[in-house]
Amino acid sequence: MEEKKFGPIRFIPGINRGKYPYCHSVYIEGAKILIDPASDRQRLTQLRDEEGVEQVWLSHWHEDHFMDLDLFDDLPLGVHPLDAPPLADVENFLDAYDIETPAFRESWRGIATDMFHYRPRTPQITLEAGTRELDGLTVEILHTPGHTPGHLCFFFPEQGVLFLGDYDLTPFGPWYGDRDSSITSTIASVRRLEKHPARTWLTCHETGVFETQPGRLWHDYLEVIETREKKLIDFIEQPRSREEIINAWIVYRKERKPADFYRFAEWANMKKHLEGLMATGRVMLEDGRYRKL
């Protein structure tokens, strides 16, 4: 993938099409603001040294968006207040993912530090919904919760560019497995973004740049949620344990490596569906097994 410019807005592609553990970054020329520094460590180092970065903003707190933040330890960091706690302390980070198992928690503490260069950071810039002027450039900050409680998107009205962050319109569909994620809020945010009067759409993963209206991709992206839930309901026609639900691989479709990570991630998303279904009286938990009512 190649870098693309839309006026002073520069799309910086991530390694391997921005697939996890990487993401695509955005650089705002003039204001010298870098958004989501986890695209290509070598390229971001070059950008820092040759063109300069004065602020770093995050669309949200996930590790595949802050992986190269350590390159900018001396710069002001901006994030929504609801997404600041996981950045301030590694225990908060693990709590926000709702990681409870001691061994897996210890493993992820090391992964966060070694692979994703986690360093505790206290943001100096509060990013909330509203309009900001940046060296003659206007940016509208949109609070779009669901993926995380403080997830942000950024619209540049003069250029018609909307940065969607992790509402990436990929076939995999949305992630909503964190402790504070919400399926309902995810759906509401995506539907809101679909109606936004942009002309170009940038995302953090895979395709990355849409220069025509994504059209049916909006529908397909949200339909993944409905498909997952339908498969889950069908699967628990007979009482099923947590392990049986994980082994059905409704989210990831097949067993993947590393096993501990993907088993955790599978359950994290399935748990959100089950919580919603139990809250509406469609599913019950009895003797450690979930069953459709």
Could you read off the pLDDT of 22-33 as tens digits, one per residue?
999 999 999 999
What domains, with CATH codes, occur in the chain? 4-214 (3.60.15.10), 226-292 (1.10.10)
pLDDT digit string (tens) for 62-77? 999 999 999 999 999 9
pLDDT of residue 19 exceeding 90, the answer is yes
Total length of the chain: 293
pLDDT averaged over every residue in the chain: 97
Rounded to whole angstroms, the Cα distance separating 23 from 1 reads 12
C-alpha span between 95 and 75 (Å, rounded): 26
Mean pLDDT of 45-58: 98
Distance CA(49)–CA(179), nearest Å, equals 38
Could you give the CA distance from residue 106 to residue 111 in angstroms, rounded to a whole number? 9
pTM: 0.96
Question: What is the CB-side half-sphere exposure of residue 83 using CA atoms within 13 A?
Answer: 29
Rounded percentage of the chain residues whose pLDDT exceeds 90: 99
How does residue 135 score in pLDDT terms, banded at 50, 70 and 90?
Answer: confident
Whole-number Å distance between alpha carbons of 114 and 91: 15
**pLDDT one-digit tens code per residue, 220-271:** 999 999 999 999 999 999 999 999 999 999 999 999 999 999 999 999 999 9
**pLDDT reported for residue 57:** 98
| Mean predicted confidence (pLDDT) in 179-194 | 98
pLDDT score of 2 more than 90: yes
d(CA 189, CA 145): 7
Integer CA distances (angstroms), 278 to 176, 282, 292, in order: 17, 6, 9
